[in-house]
Structure 1
Amino acid sequence: MLPRFDPTNPKSCMSLLEDVTTNVKQIQDSVLEAILSRNAQTEYLRGFLNGQLDKQSFKNNLPIVTYEDYRSYIDRLANGEPFDLICDRPISLFLASSGTSGGVPKLIPLTAEELEQRILFASLYAPLVFKHIEGLTEGKSLMFYFVTRESETASGLMVRFMITCVLKSVNPSNSFLWDRVQIIPHAISTCADTAQGMYCQLLCGLLQRENVARLGAPYASSFLKVINFLEDHWHELCSNIRTGRVSDWITDAGCVSGIGKFLTAPNPELASLIEQECSKTSWEAILKRLWPKAKCIEAVVTGSMAQYIPLLEFYGGGLPLISSWYGSSECFIGINDDPLSKPCDVSYTIIPSMGYFEFLEVKKDHQEAGHDPAKNHAVVDLVDVKIGHDYELVVTTFSGLYRYRLGDVLRVTGFYNNAPQFYFVGRQKVVLSIDVDKTYEEDLLKAVTNATLLLEPHDLMLVDFTSRVDTSSFPAHYVLYWELGSKLKDVKHEPDRDVLEECCFAIEESLDSVYRKLRKSDKIIGPLEIKVVRRGAFDELMNFFLSRGSSVSQYKTPRSVTSEEALKILDAAVVSEFLSPKTPSWEPRELHSSR
């Protein structure tokens, strides 16, 4: 675990970062030893190790598991059985993981000690951002957070999303550290009503626009939701600023008291300035125009979030995009030690104190059905990974997960001292498949990114997308749902048929040779189809998944959809349909991503 240090002292943080990234093997061995010795008497470890707590016994006897393998233990804990099923310390709550395309969260056990470690982890990367970006100390952060309503298990254990957990760990009566760095009062950030919270966070940010040094949200997708909300509500926000009175529908006590600190008098001058910027024909660089002293946008823009980079660059007007850290509900894992690297080049340095990390090498074999790296490749330790290779991450944590497959695929790009650095490739998941073709999340994202280059000359942008396989047609074919937006306000561009058909073809041309060869036969895979949906369709999709337990702050649009209810939402929103007009070439070739 991370040793104790002063999180308010940048030199202390940087010194610790150097230490933990230098002594990687020793730290990893001591982490595993500590986890096994502390949890030796748990039912789970006793069942596999029979008291043999050495590293080799761990590797020989403990299976590599998924959530489904582990579910029975989680269910027993949720139903009131004692924590020593898996851990030597009380489980303080369950974290709801957002990493499921079905929108139904997994429950991840968390101890109080582990939560404290995660909060310390955040202190490690903060000095790096301040070191690389000048001027951040001249203002505060306008970071948009949203809590999700809590639930309880049958035994009374709380279930929270990670963002909610961190926000609620701040003591409201002792929140001076929060107030020192955040523009938005803690009482507003923890509002359970998303609409009221988002509105009041924006109002706070606009009222203090000259004091905003950085903007952001946990994920690129949630930050774009805020921008869309601003597009729909800027008239009302300006009215509030002009009159010095918040709208009547803002009734949450925390929001009302929080806004009352800043909305103290009419400010028609500020209202007119904001109106002038928001009324312009284009919203290009709107963030830079509304918050002129902001130095960067901070949000995760790697993996499935990479598709939102063009939108953030459009709205940001040149503000650097900072993807600071990589983690999950199961474990906090790595930090970006080069915050100003291009979003497409971001690598994360693994912090070896946060858990015990193992790696399954991933080699895509599209011809082999049911390919599973856990059965076909050796498991390697953190210090044994090789540059240029892809691995699926396996974690063992202090909170009771053992050899747990995260499903994330990471590519080794180099080393920071002795700690490997990884590029986040995506989820180890086939999102589309009809026959022996296997289109992975990474492949689909690259293909869509290449195709959207065709939209740029027409002032169109891809707002969001997802996909499915349509087996009702013969032959079956890939279907992509696209929501498009215009770079110009109040200008409705009807999608040009020729352009969208070329987008269909460009996607097919970017997919692998197995797909393209099967497309050559008109009896196996039919032409790829793009269905354009109306504005707001993906907000409706998000609301559907939120109703099933997802979180606004952590929501990620699923790259493939199988839920019949979700598909009904999308199909009801379709405004036009386009098919690939020709068959792609199928010869094997080297693919070049637009990245």
Structure 2
Amino acid sequence: MGAQAAPLVMIVIFLPFVVAFSVYAIYHEVMEHPKALSVTKSALAGIGCLILVILSFAGVDYFRRRISGVTQYTFGHMASHYICLIRLQFTGRRMRNKLESDTIELREVQSRLILQRLRRNQSTIYGRDYNFKIMKTVEDFTKQHPLTRYSHYQSYLEQIVEGQENVLNVDSTVLLAITSGASGHSNMLPVLSHERTLHYRFGYAIVWRILHDNFSELKRLRKILRFAYVPRTKTIACGIPVGQQQPNVEYTLQMLSTPTKAFKITDDYSLLYIHLLFGLRDPNIGLIESGFASVLYTAMRALRNHWHDLVHDIETGTINCDIKLDTNLRKHLESLLFPDLNRASFLREEFDRGFDGIVSRIWPDLQCVLTVDSGSNDIYGRILKQHEFQGIIFYSALYSATEGLLGINLDPLSHNRHYLLIPRTVFYEFIPLEQSDEEQPSTLLLDEVEDGKDYELVVSNQSGLYRYRFGDVVRVVGFHNHCPLIEFLYRQGQFLNVRGEKTSEKAFYSALIHSARNWHGIKIIDYCCVESAVLEQVSNKSDLIDLPYYTVFLELENGHLICASQLDEIDKTLCKEFFVYETFRKKNNIAPMKVFIVKPGTFSEFRQFLRDTADISLNLYKTPRVLRRIDTVQFMLDHVDIRMHSL
């Protein structure tokens, strides 16, 4: 632990004895006044003994959990890590038990949740407009309040922006959160402070309980390499910040390999470099974490491109001068580094061996990766598992959105991404998928859904969205006690729909992956699609107006070329796997899809383009699978590799 930690270790060892001596002295002082302080005497003696026991146990437990030979962190820092870990374990155990009981008393929990929120907000502008006061039962609520979409709330959000209080919620809005815009456009939704607490207690804390139950090494004081970034926000006239939600970093800062003050860095690339630098110097990393697999993919690309600089910095105990850092912050971060020739030499040898399987070689005690690798992030998860993360378990722990925390994955060892819906965070309703085209269809409650059926999910959340249709389509895949387990299928805004066929992201991606299996080792880096009607607004080609069709933009690994007949397999496979699309193709109502190969690095540049033009934080970035914006379509057309595309 280093010489500077030795005095602190001695304090921890002898602190229980100091406390015991103090209690003994107080005891004898009290003994001189037995009549007046007899109760106090007993109380102090009891408290002293309790403190002695607690501190003794904590000291023993700390040394049991610590990693021997660690020199990168001070004792004080590791003691803070220990306290944070114990708090997280305690909260996780308590919340896991509460979740278990909630899934048994499902209807009661859901009913109590929505009725309490209606009562609490009945005096708001919205509550008066929709007469919350007369809604006494769940049936009253579902009959008297309409199903809503984002446009329903725009006038109320305008009032919030203008500084009006008590609009949607009696509690103050702490953030106007901008959604990721993966479905084609970004929305602005209110966020309350209590929502962040819910996300920690019923999300992250329970996840840690699950991790501890499955990976015993994570009970030890191993650091987390977390790729999290500072969201860009701006404060509007009413004093409310506007931007994307901050991930739950503050609760676990002392458990991270990245120093706390580094989270003041607003430049994403600079912070990414610091994440990698401080992570690489620690060989005992136990967990790697990122919001989405796409974020982790970006980090691995940066590692491939800049490992020479990173190893040099570890070798010299400095930070590359090209990294944009405030002078004082740079001095602080460099004060935490020291030249580590052995670690630098080891890393250099491993990187020279290649990047396939690199993660388990440089962090041999890594237990798993905590990231979302389902839905639109599946393609990034596949690439990472095939290369840098060979043999590493990926745990897609949470199903959440800007609208709220929705589900938790109880089985980190399973390849399935099944989420238990959390009864205490939002009020759920379900629209049978065959009725989702209706404006006001009937809905089912959480305990009324059927196994194997697909539904559009409807939520009433903490911040003032009621019976809100945000577009997620899920499949019920089983039950835990009485509560449904679901699989996320797609978001409705990501349809390809030129003739009413509604090809989902899941259906298209399945056809794409199955087609690529016959491409003789050529791998897909990323993709997106656009409908011909949108393409016509950019292209002047006359042949675009004959029949509608899909256009696909593909980036292949290492800029490989591929013949047109192989690309045509995507259209044929989609016909085989999705009979609705096949029907329209056979009737000649939809023309064959066109596939364009884009230049290497296009989707990395596209990520930066979207962050610059839509102000999207790297934390929440998702590649839009269906392009709706004209500028994004033009971007892709400008990056087409002229050597090969199917026409």
TM-score if structure 2 supplies the norm length?
Answer: 0.80
Confirm whether residue 558 of structure 1 aligns to residue 624 of structure 2: yes
Aligned to 1:43: 125
CA shift for structure 1 position 193:
0.6
Matches of residues 458-477 of structure 1 in structure 2 within 5 Å? Answer: 458=521, 460-471=522-533, 472=536, 473=544, 474-477=546-549
Counterpart secondary structure, 2:637: helix
1:78 paired residue number: 161
Q: How do 1:501-580 residues align onto structure 2 when only pairs under 5 Å count? A: 501-522=567-588, 524-547=589-612, 548-575=614-641, 576-579=643-646
Deviates more, 1:551-560 or 1:535-544: 535-544
Q: Secondary structure at the match of 1:51?
A: helix
- Runs of 4+ in structure 1 deviating by more than 4 angstroms, as ranges, are none
Distance in 1 (CA, whole Å) between partners of 2:278 and 2:163 is 43
- Matched with 2:39 is none
Task: Look up the equivalent residue of 1:405 and give its one-letter code.
Answer: R
1:117 maps onto 2:179 in alignment: no
| Paired AA for residue 116 in structure 2 | A
Question: Which of 171, 180, 186 is the equivalent residue of 1:105?
Answer: 186
1:530–1:579 CA contact under 8 A, matched in 2: yes
Letter in 1 for 2:229: F
| Alignment CA distance shift 1:213-1:123 (3 Å) | same
What residue is the counterpart of 2:271 in the other structure?
197
Correspondent of 2:431 among 355, 360, 368: 360
Query: 2:309 aligned with 1:227, yes or no?
Result: no
Q: Distance in 2 between matches of 1:504 and 1:350?
A: 34
Deviation of 1:499 (Å): 6.5
Residues 232-251 of structure 1 aligned to structure 2 (within 5 Å): 232-251=305-324
Compared with structure 1, are the counterparts of its residues 91 and 163 closer, same or farther at alpha carbon in structure 2 (3 Å cutoff)? closer
Judged with a 3 Å threshold, the aligned counterparts in structure 2 of structure 1 residues 303 and 228 are, in CA distance, closer, same or farther, namely: same
CA 1:532 to 1:264, structure 2 compared with 1: closer, same or farther past 3 Å?
same
Q: Does the CA-based 8 Å contact 2:409-2:419 persist in structure 1? A: yes
Q: Distance in 2 between matches of 1:27 and 1:415?
A: 17
Cα distance change of structure 1 residues 419 and 514 upon mapping to structure 2, 3 Å threshold: closer
SS in 1 for 2:230: coil
Shift of 1:341: 0.9
TM-score (norm 1): 0.86
Once the 2 structures are TM-superposed, how far is the Cα of residue 484 of structure 1 from its aligned partner? 1.3
For 1:78, the aligned partner's letter is V
Of 172, 181, 203, the residue aligned with 1:90 is 172
DSSP-derived class of the 1:346 partner: coil
Aligned residue type for 1:331: G
> What secondary structure is seen at the aligned counterpart in 2 of 1:432?
coil
Give the Cα–Cα distance (whole angstroms) in 2 for the partners of residues 258 and 321 of structure 1: 34
Question: Aligned pair in 2 of structure 1 residues 401, 501: CA closer, same or farther (>3 Å)?
Answer: closer
Gaps of 5+ in 2: 1-85, 537-543
Contact 2:369–2:395, Cα closer than 8 Å, also in 1? yes
* Letter of the 1:461 counterpart: K
* SS of corresponding position for 1:119: helix
Task: Write out per-residue CA displacement over residues 401-457 of structure 1, whole angstroms, 9 at most, x where no aligned residue.
Answer: 1111121111111111222111111112352222233212221121122122223x3
Q: How does 1:579-594 map to 2 (within 5 A)?
A: 579=646
Shift of 1:262: 4.1
- Amino acid in structure 1 at the alignment position of 2:245: M
**1:267-346 map, 5 Å:** 267-280=340-353, 282-314=354-386, 315-342=388-415, 345-346=416-417
CA distance in 2, matches of 1:448, 1:145: 30
1:477-530 deviations in Å (ceiling 9; x for gaps): 2111111114xxxxx6x32316633543454334522322332355x3222222
CA distance in 1, matches of 2:158, 2:566: 47
Summarize the Cα distance change of 1:278–1:532 in structure 2 as closer, same or farther, 3 Å threshold.
farther
The structure-2 alpha-carbon separation of the partners of 1:94 and 1:430, relative to structure 1 and needing over 3 Å to count, comes to closer
Which residue is 1:178 aligned to?
Answer: 253
1:59 corresponds in structure 2 to 142
Deviation of 1:93 (Å) = 1.9
Match of 1:481 in 2: 553
- State whether residues 182 and 623 of structure 2, in contact with CA within 8 Å, keep that contact through their aligned partners in structure 1: no
Identity of aligned residues (%): 26
Take 1:503 and 1:189, find their aligned partners in 2: how far apart are those partners?
Answer: 46
> 1-side partners of 2:310 and 2:217: how far apart?
28
Q: Structure 2 CA distance, aligned partners of 1:257 and 1:8?
A: 34
How far apart are the structure 2 equivalents of 1:78 and 1:340? 45
Query: How far has the Cα of 1:360 moved from its partner?
Result: 1.1
Q: For residue 464 of structure 2, give the secondary structure of its aligned residue in structure 1.
A: coil
Work out the CA distance in 2 between the residues paired with 1:506 and 1:450.
Answer: 11
CA-to-partner distance for each residue in 1:53-103, whole Å, 9 max, x for gaps? 222221111111111221111121112122x1211222122222214444x
Return closer, same or farther for 1:255/1:286 CA change in 2, 3 Å cut-off.
farther
Stretch of structure 1 that moved more, 140-149 or 317-326: 140-149
For 2:305 and 2:194, locate their aligned partners in 1 and report how far apart those are by CA, in whole Å.
42
Matching residue of 1:215:
288
Cα 1:261/1:351, change in 2 over 3 Å = farther
Q: 1:514 to 1:19 in 2, by over 3 A?
A: closer
Query: Is 1:148 aligned with 2:231?
Result: yes
Task: Tell me which amino acid in the other structure corresponds to 1:447.
Answer: A
Displacement after TM superposition at 1:558 (Å): 0.4
Task: Provide, for residues 357-398 of structure 1, a one-character-per-residue CA deviation record: whole Å limited to 9, x for no partner.
Answer: 11111138xxxxxx61554x4201111111111111111123
Structure 1 or 2, whichever has the larger Rg, is 2
Distance of 2:196 and 2:128 partners within structure 1:
26
CA contact (8 A) 2:494 2:626 kept: no
Q: SS of 1:16's equivalent?
A: helix
Choose between structure 1 and 2: higher helix proportion: 2
Q: 1:401 aligns with which of 439, 447, 465?
A: 465
> How far apart are the structure 2 equivalents of 1:469 and 1:105?
20
